[in-house]
Amino acid sequence: MTYNTYENAEEIKVCQGDIDHRGIIEHINDGVVIIREGKIVFANNAFCVISRRAPEQVINSEFSDFISSADRENVIKYCKERLFTEGLPDTIEFVMSRMDGEAIIEMKVNIVECAGSPAILGALADITERRKTRLDLQRIKDRLESIIHSMHEVVVSLSAKDHSIISINPSAEALYGIPLRDFTIGQIHIVDFVHPDDVEKVNQFYLNLRENEFDEMEYRIVSNDKRIKWVLDEGHVVYSNKGTIRRLDHVIRDITDEKKVSDALRQSEAKYRDFFDSTSDMAFTLTPKGRFIDINDAGIKLLGFENKEEALGSNVEAFYVDISERVGLVEEIYEKGKVEGKQVRFRNKAGDVIEVAVTARAKVDDSGQLIYHEGIVHNITKALEDQRNKVLRNAAGSMCHYLNTHLMHLLNSKEGVREVMESMDILINNLSQGEDFQDTLQQINGAIKDMRYYFEGISNAYQRISEVTNAFNKAFHYKEESYLSSTILDIFKAYGYEGEDQ
């Protein structure tokens, strides 16, 4: 019997009898070889395809020639021991050397009798792609596990039957404050840490997850160190290929700090809204183009709107007495991000001019673009009027003091003139009675000199009074009215004048 070709393979006696195996071997995809004393005495076409060799290159070749140098010694040893030793695995993997590269081969081994001697019957399968796929899947699995283990969130898988923990990542230690093994051995469960006031709703959340398939919930937990923390629990159902529920996965994130910030922001917004609505000043929010986004009741009243709806349909530019003031204000907000106490003039719907001080700040988006500005408008019309009145009163007081000084000069000069006139009457009378003419004449000359002195004083006082009244007329324009002296006195009495009779 010869073993050179596939055609006479049916003559091999296998396992206590002749088996016509030609039809079977011809139609299987696995490579089939019979190895006797280290040589291939039979090989089907599938083996030739796997090994990338022609039949004449296979038959009577050393089987070790098909094995890579790294695996050769191990495979030869296995084949020898497999012939005479029971209990060895019936499958071995090795790398096959081929012309176009290496392939990973899985060979299932049986012992057969060939020409009266024990031989290796090997069924070989090229598992290169399968192994590559498995390795790729393993790498993906390892990478996924690495990601899950590095996550700050707790990732936990629960049994669909009893909600027991199947797996949980190390982040659970930081969140709950106990060793990870306590979870994995079933000693404790994540729901054991739920705050007592939240237990009922959390249990309902877990029970409803099967029906909802995906859901999330915020609740409190009490960690092992008695700290209360807020968590966001996102759960979803994982199905098998058959459509049955395989497990329940949860991602639990510590949101304690976010919750504090959120609560603080909400309180801040509530305080701002309360201030916005209750302040007596006009509070506003405007687009860069001047359209009202929001305005409080005080602003509605200040500008004369009928209601908030009318205000929100209006543009603040319509209320500026001088639109250039609006341009300057917006430019300053764009440049500096805010303005403080910027004085502008508004004209309300009734036509009244209102002087106001604007304090505002810009609000920008993530790209730095201005989206709106908000602020406060304080009505300073009365304050400015009071300030102007105070300045006017101070000016009037200073003028009165100035006039009184020169009026005193006039009064003194008047008294001097009266005394001179009385002395002149005496001198004239003496002169008419024939008294010493020369002496009387000298006295008259002295009296005339005094008269000139007093006249000069009167002239100087008149000039000073004229100067201040002319300046006052230039500074303040008024409509002449014919006031009675009593009316004028009434005006001065309103500012504190008590009258000469007191």
**Helices of type H across 361-380:** none
The DSSP element (H or E) to which 249 belongs, if any, is strand 245-254
State residue 90's pLDDT score: 92
Sign of the Cα torsion 378, 379, 385, 388 reads positive
More confident residue, 105 or 456: 105
Residue 74 has a pLDDT of 94
Residue 141 predicted with pLDDT over 60: yes
**Which residues are within 8 A (CB) of 101 and not within 5 positions of it... i.e. 6 or more apart?**
none
Question: What whole-number distance in Å separates Cα of residue 302 and Cα of residue 294?
Answer: 14
Q: What rounded mean pLDDT belongs to the chain?
A: 83
Q: What amino acid is encoded at 176 in this protein?
A: Y
Position 484 confidence tier, pLDDT thresholds 50, 70, 90: low
Q: How far apart are CA 79 and CA 61, in angstroms?
A: 16
User: Cβ distance 58 to 45 under 8 Å?
Assistant: no
Q: Which domains does the chain carry? A: 6-128 (3.30.450.20), 151-260 (3.30.450.20), 279-379 (3.30.450.20), 384-494 (no CATH)
Question: What's the rounded mean pLDDT across residues 189-199?
Answer: 95
Residues 252 and 220: their CA atoms lie apart, in Å, by 11
pLDDT, tens only, 243-298: 899 999 999 999 999 888 878 878 877 777 787 888 889 999 999 899 999 999 99
Q: Rounded distance, CA 303 to CA 311, Å?
A: 9
Collapsed DSSP state (helix, strand, coil) of residue 112: strand
Whether the full predicted model's pTM is greater than 0.75, yes or no, is no
- Closest by Cα among 236, 229, 231 to 250: 236
Model confidence at 422, pLDDT cuts 50, 70, 90, reads: confident
Q: Are 195 and 221 in contact (CB under 8 A)?
A: yes
Sequence-separated (6 or more) residues with CB below 8 Å from residue 462: 410
Dihedrals phi, psi of 344, to nearest 5 degrees: -140, 175
Q: Which long-range contacts (CB under 8 A, 24 or more apart) does 201-206 make?
A: 202/233, 205/233, 205/235, 206/163, 206/235, 206/248
**Would you state the pLDDT for residue 386?**
66
Q: Does residue 301 sit in helix, strand or coil?
A: helix
Residue 390 has pLDDT above 50, yes or no: yes
Q: Express each pLDDT in 214-253 by its tens digit.
A: 999 999 999 999 999 999 999 999 998 888 999 999 999 9
- What phi and psi values does residue 171 have, to the nearest 5 degrees? -60, -20
**What's the alpha-carbon Rg for the chain, to the nearest Å?**
57
DSSP conformation class of 13: B
pLDDT at 433: 78
Question: According to the model, what pLDDT value does residue 15 have?
Answer: 40
